[in-house]
Amino acid sequence: MEDNKPWALISEVGEQGYIEEVTDIMKKHFQIICHKDFLQNPQLHGPKIQAMFVWNAFPEAEPALLGSLPSLKVVANGGVGIDHLDVPYINSLGVKVTNTPDVVTDATADMALGLLLASARKIVEGHQIAVNPKTTHIPQSLMGVEVAGSTMGIIGMGRIGCKIAQRGKGFDMKILYHNRNRRSVEDEQALGASYCENMDDLLKESDFVVLAVNLTPETTGLISHRELSLMKRTATLVNVSRGLVVDQDALVKALHSGTIHAAALDVTHPEPLPRDHPLLSLPNVLITPHVGTNTYTTTRKMVQKMVENAVAAVKGQPVPNEVKPN
């Protein structure tokens, strides 16, 4: 029976790839081969592979690799963002591209609120003081920012943005949003969100600016010197989208000079940042290593969705989450 399963190329199982707990989902429908093992004999393995599962942008879907996979039918990406994939080029090879919307929404929204709260209430600094063997008293300087009653401005009101708004509403925050297209009146009422047609207005009024956009040519460098200068000096920037949405040099300058109060980032560019990057040494920055979807539940859902998409593509059936070029 094993021999009848189509072959799929994956990055690896382990520290930099898939957790062991999700490989059963892939093995149910595919014979999987890790990229490292594939490279031992591409001529032997290449013609057999019909699906490629891309996780954390690996294996890289570059022309040399794709050219060695003549039977490839689908590149199934884990996650929503496909900025690391050249969709028109991959499609030109007769290969479909898929992603995993919906299943990442809650975990990413949780991360946005977690970063916002941790930054506002200095949770990491508090932990460090609490466990420091030299601590003899709790410094009064460990004062945070009130979240309840504050204004959260969400840039990018797609699935994730709406879930962030939902959570913000639960914290009694005033919700503003900016999006290419205004949401329906029903959506706005359900979320308690007010639309800002001009992003500048949102930046000026928000205590917390949360970025939840896809990375596109239009959103690359969306937040730079000018945008940061419009924010309140007491404001915090939260980014759960992509590192390139923010001009990091401008952000360093704004944080260093007090133009804005703080930043909480789950994404940077590159990832990880070089160890001597100035963002890493600023006291008003909280950084996590792009772990917005890293829960066991969401990871299993993502892999399940990747497999469903790949199985449909290999069988020539309608693909649930095919990504079309813009």
pLDDT tens sequence across 62-92: 999 999 999 999 999 999 999 999 999 999 9
Within-domain flag for 1: no
Residue-level pLDDT at 16: 83
Structure confidence at residue 308 (pLDDT): 98
* 271 is a catalytic site residue: yes
Catalytic residue selected from 167, 178, 261, 290? 290
Inter-CA distances, 133 with 125, 127, 128, 270, Å: 14, 12, 10, 34
- pLDDT surpassing 70 at residue 168: yes
State the virtual CA torsion across 19, 28, 87, 240 in degrees, nearest 10. Answer: -30
* Start-to-end CA span in the chain (Å): 40
* pLDDT computed for residue 2 by the predictor: 58
- Same domain flag for 121 and 269: yes
> Crossing angle for the helix pair 105-120 and 123-131, nearest 10 degrees?
60
Does the residue 91 lie in any domain?
yes
Q: CA 103, CA 302: separation in Å to the nearest integer?
A: 6
Domain membership of residue 90 as a residue range: 7-101+296-323
The amino acid at 321: N
| Whether residues 84 and 108 fall in one domain | no
151 and 282 assigned to the same domain: yes
Whether 283 shows a pLDDT value over 70: the answer reads yes
Note the pLDDT tens digit of each residue in 124-158. Answer: 999 999 999 999 998 888 999 999 999 999 999 99
Domain count, the chain: 2
State yes or no: is 84 an active-site residue.
Answer: no
Kindly name the residue from 271, 277, 300, 322 that is annotated as catalytic.
Answer: 271
pLDDT at 119 over 70: yes
The predicted model gives 183-209 an average pLDDT of 98
Q: Which of 167, 242, 261, 308 is catalytic?
A: 242
Say if residue 137 is in the same domain as residue 281.
yes
> Are 108 and 247 in a shared domain?
yes
Does 264 share its domain with 121? yes
Per mean pLDDT, which range of 14-18, 104-108, 202-206, 278-282 is the poorest?
Answer: 14-18
302 plus 204 within the same structural domain: no
From CA 250, how far away is CA 227, in angstroms rounded? 10
Q: Are 79 and 267 in contact (CB under 8 A)?
A: no
* pLDDT on residue 15: 83
Average pLDDT, integer, range 294-319: 97
Same domain, 136 and 80: no
Region 79-107: mean pLDDT is 96
Within a domain: 250: yes
Q: Are residues 134 and 23 in the same domain?
A: no
Mean pLDDT of 95-116: 97
Mind listing the pLDDT tens digit for each residue in 21-50? 999 999 999 999 999 999 999 999 999 999
Whether 29 and 133 share a structural domain: no
Q: Does a structural domain hold residue 232?
A: yes
Q: Which helix (H) or strand (E) holds 114?
A: helix 105-120
pLDDT given for residue 325 in this prediction: 84
**Residue 3 pLDDT:** 67
Residue 227 confidence (pLDDT) above 70? yes
Q: What would the pLDDT profile of 48-61 be if each residue is shown by its tens digit?
A: 999 999 999 999 99
Give the number of other Cβ atoms within 10 Å of residue 103's Cβ. Answer: 22
Regarding whether 167 and 64 lie in a shared domain, the answer is: no
What CATH number should be reported for the domain holding residue 50?
3.40.50.720
Position 1 pLDDT exceeds 80: no
Statement to judge: residues 246 and 130 lie in one domain:
yes
Instruction: Look up 242 and say whether it is catalytic.
Output: yes
Average predicted confidence (pLDDT) for the chain: 96
In this prediction, residue 23 carries a pLDDT of: 94
Grouping H, G, I as helix, E, B as strand and the rest as coil, residue 251 is: helix
- pLDDT at residue 326, as a whole number: 72
CB 104 within 8 A of CB 302: yes
Q: What dihedral do alpha carbons 96, 77, 84, 97 form, nearest 10°?
A: 10
